[in-house]
């Protein structure tokens, strides 16, 4: 039996109230308490951040537990181990002495072990004639037995938090995937809706996401994304309900595209003998000769070069990026939300954005962009407007300016523009705008 239990550390190490608290917890250990030491160590390892332990301090604790011969730690048994620093360093994979002393202090401060220092600071055990230990000086492991239930609860808390964090990450990934693909589907299928604003809202929400985010922030971002997801889903579902109720997934994508009430083909078919805003008289008379397909993104960007400046990082890779820039352009041009909403309803989101891009390209020539957009929307409602001639007119003006500049230099146009990936427009397409009606 031990003749005395020391309560103060050896040498210059001070006594603290935290040490007294740890010793009080150890002394209050229930009688007959018994735990599996490696099960408790696993709980401590799981909850190390909550406890305040470090990876290296746990390596030392692992070594200390290995010096206790039994698999169980019990209140009735001997709970003091007395390895030397050399033995500890060897079992802690060659840890340096200074690091060993620092992390032993961390274990004491965390209340995982208690120092039982001898009068001269040495660690040893004195045995009686029968071989039983009468007095031991070293590290007391009794806090591990006394706090075993607390460590298990902390480990469970950490596991719950990890599961919640994983669920939040999965929810975030699914919402991001759904929103991006639903917006793309809405744009490609010509579903009426303010897709540019939705894309801009999505980018704003995702912009708040740091590289490493706590779960609370992930939950907040997911809540905002879910509201946007509901808005996009409702727009797609309401459009789907207006279609043929017999339509199903076995129908081809061509059928879905032809069901679009705002498709460019239908609007062009109705423009045969009507006037069009934004083009020359020859172009107005020959709208029927335009190709019956939607404007390629590359041609629109070539005609409206200033549109790239409105996009994030000045890069537009797809129609989703193009529509996201529309919200910025609307604010810059002073177009009211009602005028923009009306244009999207009549023209469709993509055609409205192309029209706005053309207006932005000619911003120096237009005094009231909002009024001009309303005028074009009214013409489109009557079947008298298409974005094709506007874009072709901008391309014609750009090519003419390049030709004039080349003639002024006395040589062919500079090939530098071609190296930038700029699209070429065929002369046949440009001549089609001037061809008289048949």
The confidence score (pLDDT) of residue 424 equals 52
The confidence score (pLDDT) of residue 256 equals 39
Q: What is the C-alpha separation between 391 and 389, in angstroms, rounded?
A: 5
Q: What is the C-alpha separation between 50 and 161, in angstroms, rounded?
A: 12
Kindly state the percentage of the chain with pLDDT values over 70. Answer: 75
Residue 83 and residue 138 in contact, taking contact as beta carbons nearer than 8 Å: yes
Q: What is the C-alpha separation between 40 and 112, in angstroms, rounded?
A: 11
Residue 386 and residue 287 in contact, taking contact as beta carbons nearer than 8 Å: yes
Give 83-111 as a DSSP string. --HHHHHHHTTS--HHHHHHHHHHHHHTT
The answer on pLDDT for 29 being more than 50 is: yes
Q: What dihedral do alpha carbons 242, 244, 247, 253 form, nearest 10°?
A: -70
Tokens (6 digits) for 229: 């997801």
Kindly state the percentage of the chain with pLDDT values over 90. Answer: 24
User: Could you report the per-residue pLDDT of 337-365, keeping only the tens digit for each?
Assistant: 888 888 988 888 888 999 999 999 988 88
The answer on pLDDT for 136 being more than 70 is: yes
Reduced DSSP (H G I as helix, E B as strand, rest coil) percent helix, strand, coil of the chain, to 5: 60, 5, 35
User: Could you report the per-residue pLDDT of 371-418, keeping only the tens digit for each?
Assistant: 899 999 998 888 888 888 888 888 888 888 888 887 777 655 555 444
- Domain segments of the chain: what residues? 17-146, 165-244, 270-432
Average pLDDT, the chain: 78
């Amino acid at each position: 039996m031990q003749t005395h239990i020391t309560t103060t550390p050896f040498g210059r190490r001070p006594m603290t109230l935290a040490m007294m608290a740890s010793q009080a917890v150890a002394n209050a250990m229930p009688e007959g308490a018994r735990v599996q030491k490696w099960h408790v160590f696993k709980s401590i390892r799981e909850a190390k951040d909550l406890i305040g332990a470090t990876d290296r301090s746990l390596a030392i604790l692992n070594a200390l537990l290995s010096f206790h011969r039994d698999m169980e730690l019990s209140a009735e048994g001997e709970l003091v181990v007395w390895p030397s620093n050399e033995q500890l360093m060897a079992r802690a994979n060659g840890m340096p002495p200074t690091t060993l002393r620092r992390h032993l202090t961390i274990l004491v401060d965390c209340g995982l072990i208690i120092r039982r220092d001898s009068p001269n600071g040495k660690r040893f055990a004195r045995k009686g004639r029968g071989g039983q230990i009468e007095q031991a000086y070293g590290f007391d492991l009794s806090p591990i037995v006394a706090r075993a239930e607390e460590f298990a609860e902390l480990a469970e808390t950490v596991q719950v938090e990890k599961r919640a964090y994983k669920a939040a990450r999965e929810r975030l990934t699914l919402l991001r995937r759904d929103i991006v693909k639903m917006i793309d589907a809405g744009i490609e299928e010509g579903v009426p809706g303010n897709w540019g604003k939705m894309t801009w809202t999505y980018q704003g929400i995702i912009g708040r996401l740091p590289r490493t985010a706590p779960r609370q922030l992930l939950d907040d971002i997911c809540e905002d994304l879910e509201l946007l997801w509901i808005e996009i889903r409702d727009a797609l579902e309401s459009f789907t309900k207006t279609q043929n109720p017999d339509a199903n997934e076995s129908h081809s994508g061509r059928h879905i595209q032809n069901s679009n009430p705002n498709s460019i083909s239908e609007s062009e078919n109705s423009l045969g003998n009507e006037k069009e805003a934004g083009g020359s008289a020859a172009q107005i008379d020959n709208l029927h000769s335009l190709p019956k397909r939607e404007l390629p993104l590359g041609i629109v960007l070539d005609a409206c070069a200033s549109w790239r400046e409105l996009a994030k990082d000045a890069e537009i890779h797809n129609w989703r990026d193009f529509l996201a820039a529309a919200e910025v352009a609307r604010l810059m041009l002073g177009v009211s939300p009602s005028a923009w909403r009306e244009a999207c309803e009549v023209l469709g989101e993509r055609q409205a954005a192309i029209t706005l891009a053309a207006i932005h390209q000619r911003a120096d020539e237009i005094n009231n962009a909002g009024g001009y957009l309303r005028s074009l929307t009214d013409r489109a409602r009557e079947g008298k407007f298409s974005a094709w001639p506007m874009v072709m007119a901008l391309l014609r003006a750009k090519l003419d300016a390049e030709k004039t500049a080349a003639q002024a230099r006395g040589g062919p146009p500079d090939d530098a523009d071609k190296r930038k990936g700029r699209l070429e427009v065929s002369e046949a397409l440009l001549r089609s705008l001037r061809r008289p009606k048949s």
